[in-house]
Copies of this chain bind each other. A is one copy, B any other.
Amino acid sequence: MNDSREHPDDRPDDTRATLVAAARALFAERGYDGASVRAITSRAGANLGAVTYHFGSKEELYNEVVATMIRPMRDRVGAVARRPEAALDRLEAVVEVYFDHFSANGDLPHFLVERIASGQLPPPAVLATMRAVLQTVSGIVAEGQADGSIRPGDPVLMTLSVIAQPVYLSLVHAPLRTAMGVDIASDHLVAHARRFVRAGLSSSPAEAP
């Protein structure tokens, strides 16, 4: 019925990209240890040795997968931060970017926390993004505090509280639905998180939208 390979008509030489796609799906479904090299190469329609040949090791393939997924998001956050808008509006936009990118890459939140949850350090690409976002967003917060629109407080802590919303909400979204019968529409989720973040940071009571 359905072809077991990721790309039935792959042109030669994109074995590498096919591997990344298959690995991304399997890492998200089963976690790092649960996704064997054999399962990945089989799903990609490639030979068992392909991972070693193209990436050197399973670990490096994992890093590549994570980097591929997360890099565009880092860029989008950076772009939003440079907009000529009010600080609170840009922070809402950051929240929206997170949700939007998670929606297009529904498995990204898994990669963000999987290593941390296993007591290890996140992969390099995640660390780099955390660093960049922390700096960018806390800069926006500081601007908002300077112009009086955001209440006082440690900008780094405020940034973490902002990021916690899309990450945690997206992470529990699926289990909430499948295991607890709590079904939340994505746009409600985003709208709520934006309001919550604005209210949590604002120095004045939330104005109606």
Interface residues of A (CB under 8 A from B): 28-34, 107, 109-110, 113-114, 116-122, 127, 130-131, 134, 151, 153-154, 156-158, 160-161, 163-165, 167-169, 171-172, 174-176, 178-180, 182, 184, 188-189, 192-193, 195-197, 199-206
Contact = CB atoms under 8 A, between A and B. Distances in A.
Contacts of A197: 200
Contacts of A31: 33, 117-120
A163 B165 CA distance: 10
B114 A118 contact: yes
Nearest to A206: B151
A172 B160 contact: yes
A158 to B, nearest CB: 7
A203 B201 CA distance: 14
Given A117-B113, A164-B168, A200 B196 contact: yes
A205 to B, nearest CB: 5
A183 B176 CA distance: 32
29 contacts: A28-B119, A30-B118, A33-B34, A33-B118, A34-B118, A110-B117, A113-B117, A114-B118, A116-B171, A116-B172, A116-B174, A121-B175, A122-B175, A122-B179, A127-B180, A130-B172, A151-B206, A157-B184, A160-B168, A161-B165, A161-B192, A164-B164, A164-B165, A167-B168, A168-B168, A199-B200, A199-B201, A199-B202, A203-B205
